[in-house]
Amino acid sequence: MKLFFALFIILISIFLLSFCKENQHPAEKPVSYIGAYAISVPEPSGLDLTFEESGFWTVSDETSTIYKLDNEGNVVNTIKVDGFDFEGITVIDETTIAIVLERTREIVILDTSGTELKRIKLNLEGELNSGIEGITYNPKNGHFFIVNEKNPSLLLELDDDFNILHIDTLKFSKDVSGIYYDEANNILWILSDENQLIVKTDLNGNLIEKINITIVQPEGITIDKAGKRLYIVSDNKETLYVFEIN
């Protein structure tokens, strides 16, 4: 009787394990690829949605130009800016944007017609071509977050007068190449070019989640206000990629 009962328990256990295995659902991916648009911007670097979300802003480190794109990546306007090696852009409000220049370690504030309003130079040392790679804006308090590419990879928070509040060293990837502040969740989305990664962190750069991507040279990232769509621009491929956030 004991032997029969033991065999019965074993058979039930095998059945339950098999049932669970056959009916379990794979973990949902954090983001799902939707599509891509080729864009007529040489070496685009940095990306943000326009304030009204009718298109995008990006910059070219080859032409020293800011480009306004429509929702399908077509160029609708350009702004020439004094300087070179543009690497990031962020929208401040309806009429104001900010860009960063890698080699000169500068932040330039402009209105959307192209008039320069302010230029700030940051005291950051290191190799010229391993400097500022991205900028994003927190409308809740007027602060900016900036990432330094590598040697070392850094996250800087600046107040509305561009004073550096604190600097955190990032160690989750070989480099960092873009950044976006997610207001709804109060977190940062950071790109790594060399590791082909999206990394979600808290506001001090502490790792929350890594998401592998197959995009070559991802250098700009932004998300719509509804938190439904994520956009990445590739420098090498000159392409705008669209993802759904799950």
Q: List the CATH number of the domain containing 189.
A: 2.120.10.30
In a domain, 8, yes or no: no
Say if 3 falls within a structural domain: no
pLDDT at 7: 46
SS3 231: strand
Residue-number span of the structural domain to which 194 is assigned: 31-245
Tokens of 144: 């900016």
- Residue 115, domain member (yes or no): yes
Asked whether residue 11 is assigned to any structural domain, the reply reads: no
Amino acid identity, residue 170? L
Is the residue at 176 inside a domain?
A: yes
At residue 127, the pLDDT reads 81
Summarize the confidence of residues 185-193 as an average pLDDT.
98
Q: How far apart are the two ends of the chain, measured CA to CA in Å?
A: 52
The pair of structure tokens assigned to 83 is 């300087």
pLDDT of residue 1: 52
Phi-psi region of 227 (alpha: psi -120 to 50; beta: other; left: phi over 0): left
The residues that bridge with 187 in the sheet, in sequence order, are 182
Count up the domains in the chain and report the number: 1
pLDDT of residue 27: 58
SS3 80: strand
User: Tokens 């543009």 sit at which residue?
Assistant: 86
200-227 pLDDT per residue, tens:
999 999 999 999 999 999 999 999 999 9
pLDDT digits (tens, 9 = 90+) for 20-63: 444 444 457 899 999 999 999 999 999 999 999 999 999 998 99
7 assigned to some structural domain: no
Per-residue burial over 192-214, b if 16 or more Cβ lie within 10 Å, else e, is bbebbbbbbbebebeeeeeeebe
Q: Is residue 48, in this structure, part of any structural domain at all?
A: yes
Left (φ > 0), alpha (ψ -120 to 50) or beta: where does 151 sit? left
Q: How many Cβ atoms are within 10 Å of 125's Cβ, its own excluded?
A: 8
What is the reported pLDDT for 126?
Answer: 72
User: Would residue 201 count as lying in a domain?
Assistant: yes
Distance CA 99, CA 165 (A): 19
